[in-house]
A and B are shown apart, each in its own frame.
Chain A
């Protein structure tokens, strides 16, 4: 078990290194940082809520949108880069089990997403603190904001797990990333499915709207421990289910 964990860690580290060298990661990070900085200009455009709340909301929205793109696109690209570059074959000829390879990939993407959320979240927190000091108010609690970022990270990693499942049977990165994004949209609109009717089967799909970072930020107090535990348990079960399916399919995949 310890040896397996070590191999997963090595693959995760290598995946993270490769992910950080992707142009896509850099592009999305730059766009994200740009959008966050643009918030300072857009505050004139905000009518409804307090300025700091608007900055936090907008920042979380930008992180959520770009993070979902990163989770689907980077997962597919990293997976297929290694398949098409024959690197995966070299790795799998060594004493590495296919599920270890897959979970290593997932851990690497999860680490990439954590870096993405942490860096943009840090930037927004600096903006919030700076602007708050200028205005002499504390409109947004920074610990609650980071709690919202953590919830967002859970959501993004679940999107990555869904995309990884598609990757294990798909033939191209384009198909896998598009399918991953479609699955994410379905999971986001899943709660709108009524109690009956032809769309009831969608209830088998995970509900991404539970990972509602905006609502966490909107609440004045940090979420209760039981609620956080529920969200984390929900996330862990679905990541485990998608990871297990992906491992099974990948094990039987012929190269």
Chain B
């Protein structure tokens, strides 16, 4: 193939490898700069590892993430109908590694893990102690799942609210629920109700002074013309807390 024989071919290969290594090394800063355009590589690594052997890796490389994730979500729902705990858990995981972007998968996946699965695990009447153990285990699974969502998405009010709901409803941990509602309320896209629920939970925790201070702070941030902000409700609760404080 080469006119000067094998020797020339060998030298070319050596030079080619050296040039590629040098170019790769020199382009590292450019690669880091250009990397801002790409999805975070640690997610892609997880995606590839999790989807390997499930027929999704090539599709993910080809850019069919929404399609693959939708397929796995559909299968997760079929497994959910059969109350197949292992398959549903695995398929929910596969769905979010295929496409981590839609919050829909994270929120609904967490709801299945925390709310539906404990019921599947407790067929018939079971002792209360066992019920609370199972609830706690599934709540922890769902919370770990949502924490992964937070790592991948960054702080999001929707994810914090879901975590708060799990703490409140499945674990009956008002303290933690209040903490997560506050985290949710502090996010820029938070719904107004997160702040109000945080205050209510503080009241429930018998910390009215904190609740009052929080509501006064929140009131200053609420827009005047927005009906969803429910300024009237916040003002009413502030007055109630003030009356309670005066009565003490």
A: which residues have CB within 8 A of B? 42, 45-49, 53-54, 57-58, 60-62, 64-65, 68, 151, 169, 185, 188-189, 191-192, 203-207, 209-216, 218, 223-224, 226-228, 230-231, 233-234, 237-238, 241, 245, 248-249, 252-254
Contact = CB atoms under 8 A, between A and B. Distances in A.
Contact of A214 (B23, B65, B73): B65
A32 to B, nearest CB: 12
B41 A54 contact: no
Contacts of A215: 37-39
A233 B105 CA distance: 37
A189 B45 CA distance: 9
B11 to A, nearest CB: 11
A161 to B, nearest CB: 13
A252 B23 contact: no
Given A203-B24, A205-B20, A48 B41 contact: no
B61 interface: yes
A189 B30 contact: no
Contact of A253 (B1, B27, B30, B41): B1
A121 B102 CA distance: 23
Given A48-B105, A252-B3, A204 B24 contact: yes
Chain B CB within 10 A, most for which of A47, A60, A206, A245: A47
A65 to B, nearest CB: 4
Given A46-B70, A48-B73, A248 B30 contact: no
B205 interface: no
Contact of B39 (A61, A214, A230): A214
B64 A252 contact: no
